[in-house]
Amino acid sequence: MSRRSPRSIVPAPVSLESTLARIPLSAPRVSEPPVSLLSSGERWTAIRLEHLHTPPGELGEGYLSAHLVALLLSGPQMLQLMPAGGGWVTYRVEAGSVQVIPAFLVHRVRWSAPAEWIGLLVEPAFLQAIAGDGTVDLRARFGVDDALLRQLLLALRDEVRDGGRGGKPYAEHLGGAVAARLARNYRAHGGGLPRPGGLPAGKLRSVIRYIHAHLEDELLLPALADLLRMNVHSFLRSFRRSTGLPPHQYVMRQRIARAKALLDQTSLSLAEVALRSGFANQSNFTTAFRRIARLTPGAYRQARGHP
């Protein structure tokens, strides 16, 4: 399959790396980086747990490629979230409360005080398999008093702390219980956070999933509009209102975000990074990267401490 121009290709999904490993659309504004207290790493399939301490701060617009279930251990906390196309919504969340942020929900988020969290990332495909009854779209929830999810997340945290003594089947049984709870109690039912004049939450997730699943394909606007049974003009207008960007700019930012992750996390050559990020060649990649990141890919890698 031939490679297309930069506007036709988007990056592969970002793997589960941490509760803050979001796919960015704008720069984060966090005063200090989070401190990882505990992590399950890659020991489990389809779920990943992180125990973090986060200073007060804000994350710029972006989204997660997995569902996030977060248990606040400290508190209380003022948490604010802005869905794409909407305004800030403020939540007072207490210690022991549960927050759910669906995969592919484009948003900004900020919090007012230092906080300690347990976060569990759940692969969408795993949730679908557990639910077993068609597409499951979750709705964002904050400050929920859910004793079952609280105990499941604490049990998973303890399992990591104990060195995985219960084994992978035990942890994934707990993860399955989390997924079942999400499917039963946190479905969107056509809702989700409002995006005035934009795409409904389910349609936005569908088009983002489609884009990420077709990295090697030519992604033309008519095909994306067709996917949602919309005309091209309506799709362009609604997509921009949902994400704050026209589709071609959205695609380009995701490609650069993917390239940055590869430059940070691998020793791949710049030519290979270009191809894996969806660029036709290294020259196009370098030009686009310099325009958005304000330095060349090689300089970016060197500045991050990689040879």
Residue-wise pLDDT for 260-292, tens only, equals: 878 877 889 999 998 888 888 899 989 988 888
Please give the share of the chain, as a percent, with pLDDT higher than 90: 31
> How far is residue 243's CA from residue 266's CA, in Å, rounded to a whole number?
29
Give just the sign of the alpha carbon dihedral 215, 222, 107, 177: negative
Q: Decide if pLDDT at 84 tops 80.
A: no
Q: List, as one string, the DSSP characters of 212-237.
A: HHTTTS---HHHHHHHTT--HHHHHH
H or E segment to which residue 262 belongs: helix 247-265
- Model confidence over 148-183: pLDDT tens digits? 999 999 999 999 999 988 888 899 899 999 999 999
pLDDT for residue 49: 94
In order of their start, the domains of the chain are 23-185 (2.60.120.10), 197-303 (1.10.10.60)
- Model confidence over 15-70: pLDDT tens digits? 333 434 555 444 445 556 788 899 998 788 789 999 999 888 888 777 787 889 99
Mean pLDDT (the chain) is: 80
Beta partners for 101? 68
Please give the share of the chain, as a percent, with pLDDT higher than 70: 81
Q: Decide if pLDDT at 118 tops 90.
A: yes
Q: Decide if pLDDT at 75 tops 70.
A: yes
